[in-house]
Structure 1
Amino acid sequence: MKLKATQPMRLWESIGIMVFMFLVLGILIIKYQMAPQIPLLLVFTALLFYGYLRHFSWDDMFAGVVEGITPGIIPIMIFLLIGLLVATWLATGTIATIMVIGIQILSVRFFLPLAFIICGLVGMTIGSAFTTISTIGIALLGIGHIFGFSAPLTAGAIVSGAFFGNNMSPLSDTSNLTTSIAGVNLYQHLKNMAYTAVPAAFITILIYLFAGVPSGATNPDKIMTMSKALSNNFQVSAWLLLPMMMVLFLAWIKVPAIPTLLAGSLTAMIIFIIGHPHFGLGKIGTMLMNGYHAHFGDATDVIMSGGGINGMLSSISLIICALALGGLLIKMGVVNTLINSIMSLVSRPGNLILMTSLSGIGVNLLVGEQYLSIILPGSAFKQAYQEPNIDLKYLSRTLATGGADINALVPWGVSGIFIAGTLGVNPFQYIPLAFYPYLNPLITIILGYTFVTWKYRGRVK
């Protein structure tokens, strides 16, 4: 006989669980430098037994875990394929070719703003922050290393540009999801999004511009030495850009991420086999599993090694732990209780936008899944916009900024895990330097209390 919960989760319980979760994660991850998987499992264990004491059945809680992990299946497959993509592009020389071209045309003084702009343009073209980061982003990270910029600072510019492009692309899955939830025309949403995204991008570019050149920046002679080393160690030619062109084209025509990444990896693999006919099949399998490792005995060994399935397994385990915990929090009613309590604080348009944004941020912090951070607040707050007849384009914009953007700033969020795993940067190091995901939600809230409140004054009571 299954035991059932005697009453719904109360607000003080939900707040207590949230405080406990953040204390454990904060202390163990930040102070004791633990891998996030361990604190997440500790919180998961405590919550599981607390749920049992609250008379939730094991079956119900396990069903919540399954439901929580299910949205992560496709991202997990994408992570595995990103490992293959990076390994094949490194081995083939695609990354080296992009880096050599980038070194020749990019300026050290303007590198960070240009990295933001390049990732923004690529993101708008293909509509995927993940694909942008895992392709051109990796090459820009290597160029930044050669120029003398720290990896976290370069990663911040890459992430900021990729998420700006994701916000402004009609091909973006998050843009299409937010408009679907809110019931808004896609191009009306993008036009409205520009009022916050473009100022946020402009401020971000200024910040990176005034960041200047680091004191330890590489001098021109060393930059040219690295460029020559890349040209000597790898075949560098326009032919090797074909895998990148394949990925960009397929993403542009809206082919799903999995076949797009497979095609990009397969194209690179074919080029590699043609160029290395004596490279055994067993060695190729080892490379795909363990990643490509350069052994040239110079500085290129560090920046030209990585990828492989094994290189992504730590990130995948973190996704599973985070989503399992998030599914349990949803099944036990913690997330819905907190969102419903926030609804009582809505008294005017500015407050409505603020609470919608805070709900998206809260779901990101608790669940770590950007789609749920859009779906849950969107479903909960939609009627609050409809009753006073507030245009739902403000809901879709707030969901995009408080949901999709913030996910990049959550170390245990799907985006945060992906960025850290793909770029090889500690999330707590790049997060303070990724300015755009902070600015876009902030400007959204400011406009909510100014323009939107003035436009709809007296509508929400």
Structure 2
Amino acid sequence: MILDDPDKFKCPNREVTHVSASDENAIKPSLGMALVPIVLTLLVLGIQLFYFGDFTPHIPLTIGIAITGLVGLKLGYKWPSIEEGAFHVINISMPSVSILIVVGMIVGVWIASGTVPSLIYYGLKLLSPEIFLAAGMILCSTVSVSLGTSWGTVGTVGLALMGIGAGFGIPMYWTAGAVVSGAFFGDKISPLSDTTNLAPAVTGTNLFDHIRNMLPTTVPSMLIALAIYFVVGFTLIDTSQVSFERIDAITSALDDAFWISPIMLAPALLVIALAVKKQPPIPSLFAGAVVGGLMAIVCQGATMHETFTFANSGYSIDTGVPEIDPLLNRGGIQSMMWTISLVLLALGFGGALEKTGCLQTIIEVIISRVKTFAGIQTSAILTSVATNTVAGDPYLSIALPGRMYAPVYRGIGYSPLNLSRAIEEGGTLVSPLIPWNAGGAFVISALALGIGDGNFENLLYIPLAFACWLSPVIGIFYAMTGLFSPKSSDEEKQAWQDAGEPIATIGA
């Protein structure tokens, strides 16, 4: 293919780092060399996860950074330059890390304030076990679209739903699958979501055109997932074995330990109201944490010092009910440090791979071998999935393929709206399905899935998050059939010409 200067393709706040003067002798890696750090890192990661049975991807990713650094040195890069590339990616992802910190505060404080206990209490009272999974997915979808953050939804409403599911005797992995399906649906189509804004920015498309073009894959995947959860609730999960004595024990324990009232839902309603008014997510979430802290003091009798402790170290209580104690004894900024450290290492690994040209080489080889729109579209989706898997960073899985594939779509006469949809499907939606990815690590930590010591049963949430993997599958089907695959409009062609956008041809 013809791809003139890849370094000119940029996205907001994330420019490709150019070769500095100290790297003037650096060479582009061959495909074999580009695959070395990826293959070796995945090998070490596999040994850690499946041979040792230890779910701590941190050290394998650290080794991956070191291997990438050695490859970079072999290619002629200087270590300060490789380090700069890794830190650059970490730096521009700080808003996401900030959300993790605030969500940690919210979880601890909202438990102490009675917000999460009230959600669990009323959920057990109002929902029936048969419709729980479907209703949980709908609830998470609604909240996530309003907030524009899947992580915030998972850490608050999702946590409460885990408690309700435990009360109904529903396996954790089923509940987690429904929560993830709903929460990341909102992160895909909410105009407040950072990834939903990043994808059209990278590909040069309009935000709301991008959202509309995602509906043909999003709506069917959500409806199919909803139908599956309904069927499962009424057939596969034996709700006749639900112990109402256990439910009564849980609601009684919550009623004894907290003041349960609809008033306790005020912090959650405040955050949703701020989101509807299109306020920035971090101050909106922080406002919810502040109101939750005040309610913990005024309504639940906590002291200010205790409230600060809940925000920092998490909430702690012994209700004597094993189904809910693990869900109530959590939260706080410190509880997020495991996830944050994993996110930072994954981002550093992705940044080093990008700086040394390894990811770019692999993507260029893929593009050079496809000759049809179906091949390009499928490759864009799978490249985002692969970047998510290797780099562990949902932002890089959107930004890098979007930047590299955009000229090809212009060259074959198809709208970049197809590309922006592809990288959202392979980037945003697949992120929570990869345990060592930032999204997957957060889901496992926030929902208390207890992965570790060889206990991988709860990883079954991955295939059960139907909406997340059905959407890219439907996207590939559309690519093969030509359905919902818009061609370039005259306005788009004129805009590319006026802007001097690069155009690449395939198979050349």
TM-score band, normalised by the shorter chain? over 0.9
1:120-155 CA distance string (max 9 Å, x none): 122223322122212211111110111111222211
Q: State the distance in 2 between where 1:70 and 1:15 align.
A: 25
Structure 1, 107-116 or 207-216: larger mean CA deviation: 207-216
1:7-18 aligned within 5 A: 7-18=27-38
Alpha-carbon distance in structure 2 between the residues aligned to 1:454 and 1:179: 16
The structural deviation recorded for 1:455 is: 7.6
Residue 431 of structure 1: CA displacement? 1.9
Bigger drift between 48-57 and 189-198 goes to 48-57
Q: Deviations over 1:201-240 (max 9, x none)?
A: 1221232233335458532232123122212221111111
Residue identity over aligned pairs, in percent, reads 32
Q: Which residue of 2 aligns with 1:224?
A: 248
Q: Does 1:62 align with 2:83?
A: yes
Are the counterparts in 1 of residues 72 and 356 from structure 2 also a CA contact under 8 Å?
A: yes
1:160 aligns with 2:181: yes
Mapped contact 1:349–1:453 kept (Cα < 8 A): no
Task: Give the secondary structure class of the aligned counterpart of 1:96.
Answer: helix
* SS of match in other structure, 2:29: coil
Q: Partners in 2 of 1:243 and 1:175 — Cα distance?
A: 26
For residues 53-77 of structure 1, the C-alpha deviation after alignment (integer angstroms, 9 at most, x for no partner) is 4432111111122112113322222
Aligned to 2:47: 27
Which residue does 1:435 correspond to in 2?
Answer: 466
Q: Secondary structure at the match of 1:255?
A: coil
Deviations 1:67-106 (A, max 9, x none): 1211332222211111110111101100111111111221
**Are the equivalent residues in 2 in contact too, given 1:401–1:441 (CA < 8 A)?**
yes
Q: What's the C-alpha RMSD, in Å, of the aligned pairs?
A: 2.3
Q: Which residue of 1 aligns with 2:205?
A: 184
Distance (Å, rounded) in 1 between the aligned partners of 2:408 and 2:483:
15
Q: Residue 429 of structure 1: CA displacement?
A: 4.1
Contact 1:349 1:460 in 2 (8 A): no
- In 2: Cα distance, 1:377 partner to 1:356 partner: 7
Q: Distance in 2 between matches of 1:353 and 1:377?
A: 11
Following superposition, the deviation at residue 15 of structure 1 comes to: 2.2
Equivalent in 90, 115, 121 of residue 136 of structure 2: 115
CA contact (8 A) 2:259 2:300 kept: no
Separation (CA, whole Å) in 2 of partners of 1:126 and 1:453:
28
Q: Which shifted more, 134-143 or 116-125?
A: 116-125
Residues 280 and 201 of structure 1, relative CA distance in 2, 3 Å threshold: closer
Q: 1:424 aligns with which of 433, 436, 448?
A: 448
State the match for 1:402 in structure 2: 426
Q: Is residue 73 of structure 2 the alignment partner of residue 52 of structure 1?
A: yes
C-alpha contact (below 8 Å) 1:247/1:264 kept by paired residues:
yes
- The change in CA–CA distance for 1:382 and 1:296 in structure 2 (over 3 A counts) is same
How many Å separate the matches in 1 of 2:290 and 2:479?
47
Aligned length, in residue pairs: 459
User: What amino acid maps onto 1:284 in structure 2?
Assistant: T
Task: Name stretches of at least 5 consecutive residues in structure 1 with no aligned partner.
Answer: none
The answer to whether the 8 Å contact 1:369/1:414 transfers is yes
1:171-191, Cα deviation, whole Å (9 max, x unpaired):
332222222223333333222
For residue 330 of structure 2, the aligned residue among 295, 306, 320 is 306
- Structure 2 distance, partners of 1:455, 1:437, is 23
Distance 1:382 1:49 in 2: 31
Amino acid in the other structure paired with 1:285: F
How much has 1:28 moved relative to structure 2?
1.5
Maintained 8 Å contact 1:125/1:169: yes
Letter in 2 for 1:382: A
Residue 448 of structure 1: aligned partner: 479
AA matched with 1:125: S
Instruction: Give the match for residue 379 of structure 2.
Output: 355
Matches within 5 A, 1:125-144: 125-144=146-165
Once the two structures are overlaid, the 10-residue window that deviates more, 157-166 or 168-177, is 168-177
Letter in 1 for 2:459: F
Match of 2:310 in 1: 287
Amino acid at match of 1:67: H
Query: Per the alignment, do residues 33 and 12 of structure 1 end up closer, same or farther by CA in structure 2, a change over 3 Å counting?
Result: same
Whole-angstrom distance in 2 between the partners of 1:325 and 1:387: 32
Look up the match of 1:329.
353
Distance 1:276 1:122 in 2: 25
**CA drift at 1:46:** 2.6
Mean Cα deviation higher: 191-200 or 69-78: 69-78
Secondary structure, counterpart of 1:405 in structure 2: coil
Q: CA deviation at 1:6?
A: 4.5
Q: CA 1:208/1:31 → structure 2, altered by over 3 Å: closer, same or farther?
A: farther
Q: Would the aligned equivalents of 1:148 and 1:214 in 2 still touch at CA under 8 Å?
A: no
Find the aligned partners of 1:379 and 1:3 in 2 and give their Cα distance: 23
Contact 2:29/2:75, CA 8 A, preserved across alignment: no
CA spacing shift, 1:451–1:316, aligned 2, 3 Å:
same
CA distance in 2, matches of 1:294, 1:133: 22
Amino acid across the alignment from 1:379: R
Q: State the distance in 2 between where 1:166 and 1:281 align.
A: 34
Check conservation: 1:11, 1:341, Cα contact below 8 A: yes
Equivalent position of 1:233 in the other structure: 257
- How far is 1:276 from its partner? 4.8
- Alpha-carbon deviations, 1:10-29, whole Å to 9, x = none? 11111233222222212212
Alpha-carbon distance in structure 2 between the residues aligned to 1:153 and 1:400? 24
Q: Equivalent residue of 1:21, what SS?
A: helix
Q: Which runs of 5+ in 2 are unaligned?
A: 1-20, 452-457, 488-504
- Once residues 452 and 388 of structure 1 are traced to their aligned partners in structure 2, the CA distance between those partners, rounded to angstroms, is 17
After TM superposition, the score normalised by the length of structure 1 is: 0.93
Q: After the TM superposition, which residues 82-97 of structure 1 pair with which residues of structure 2 at under 5 Å, given as runs?
A: 82-97=103-118
* CA distance in 1 between partners of 2:211 and 2:268 (Å): 27
CA positional deviation for 1:3: 7.0
> Residue 11 and residue 106 in structure 1: after superposition, are their counterparts in 2 closer, same or farther (change >3 A)?
same
